[in-house]
């Protein structure tokens, strides 16, 4: 699966890993409606492709995405803005069942950070900068930032980032759990692809259900989350992949998973 070089979203595949590159370098990858719609369409295609088991989303060396490019919505009235469906495009990304790995260089601000927060694993390099600058232009995050950021970094830091515009560098983001790994410059895509490739070697059904279980922890109390996890574990007992995994372990070989 490949896209034209001049597309706002470039798409490649390596083995079982899909790679989506945001490609508006002249705008520091500001997320336009066209870019988001193409991103969502590509993610849906990957989600429905049994050959794809994980996905990397990256930008370029200057910016992962330096915010949302709302274009004409800047002049929209409240009813038009509410009904535009623009913010809901981030919700569409959140419905993807396969693991999403963000590879962040440079700026991840506003809507760009909101996209990062939806991803399941976040890797950045030493140039990364994370922030929510919306209040400086008289608005608020509108694609889940106020809700997801506090769940990741905690209330007080989220408040400072959203209300006062504090930005986090790579080491601060690592310390606060916003990213899992920091790499040297030029290494972030390779690291993200390596993580995605490792995910792709595991049982696809187990990975999909494990993602659901972890995300459920944000939505439910502990006891309900444990019950949900237990039901998924029992469900997996019926899968061919689980049987293959158990056989391979006993035979001291690598399992061959089929996603069934």
Point out the residues that are catalytic.
Answer: 68, 111, 114, 134
Helices 145-153 and 111-118 cross at an angle (nearest 10°) of 60
What is the number of other CB atoms lying within 10 angstroms of the CB of residue 57?
Answer: 27
Q: Is the dihedral of CA 154, 194, 95, 202 positive or negative?
A: negative
What is the C-alpha separation between 110 and 246, in angstroms, rounded? 45
């Amino acid at each position: 699966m490949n896209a034209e070089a001049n597309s706002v979203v470039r798409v490649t595949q390596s083995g079982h890993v899909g790679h989506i590159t945001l490609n508006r370098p002249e705008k520091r990858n500001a997320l336009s409606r066209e870019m988001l719609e193409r991103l969502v369409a590509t993610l849906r295609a990957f989600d429905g492709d049994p050959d794809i088991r994980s996905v990397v989303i990256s930008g370029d060396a200057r910016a992962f995405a330096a915010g949302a490019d709302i274009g004409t919505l800047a002049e929209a009235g409240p009813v038009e803005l509410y009904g535009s469906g623009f913010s809901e495009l981030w919700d569409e990304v959140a419905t993807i069942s396969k693991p999403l790995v963000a590879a962040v260089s440079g700026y991840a601000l506003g809507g760009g950070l909101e996209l990062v927060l939806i991803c399941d694993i976040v890797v950045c390099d030493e140039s990364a900068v994370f922030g929510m600058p919306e209040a400086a232009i008289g608005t608020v995050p509108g694609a889940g930032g106020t809700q997801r950021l506090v769940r990741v970094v905690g209330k007080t830091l989220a408040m400072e980032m959203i209300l006062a515009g504090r930005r986090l560098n790579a080491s601060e983001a690592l310390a606060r759990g916003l990213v899992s790994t920091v790499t040297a410059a030029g290494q972030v895509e390779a690291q993200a692809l390596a993580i995605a490739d490792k995910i792709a070697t595991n049982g696809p059904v187990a990975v999909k259900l494990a993602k659901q279980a972890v995300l459920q922890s944000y939505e439910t109390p502990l006891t309900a989350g444990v019950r949900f996890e237990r039901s998924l574990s029992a469900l997996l007992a019926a899968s061919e992949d689980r049987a293959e995994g158990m056989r391979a372990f006993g035979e001291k070989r690598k399992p061959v998973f089929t996603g069934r």
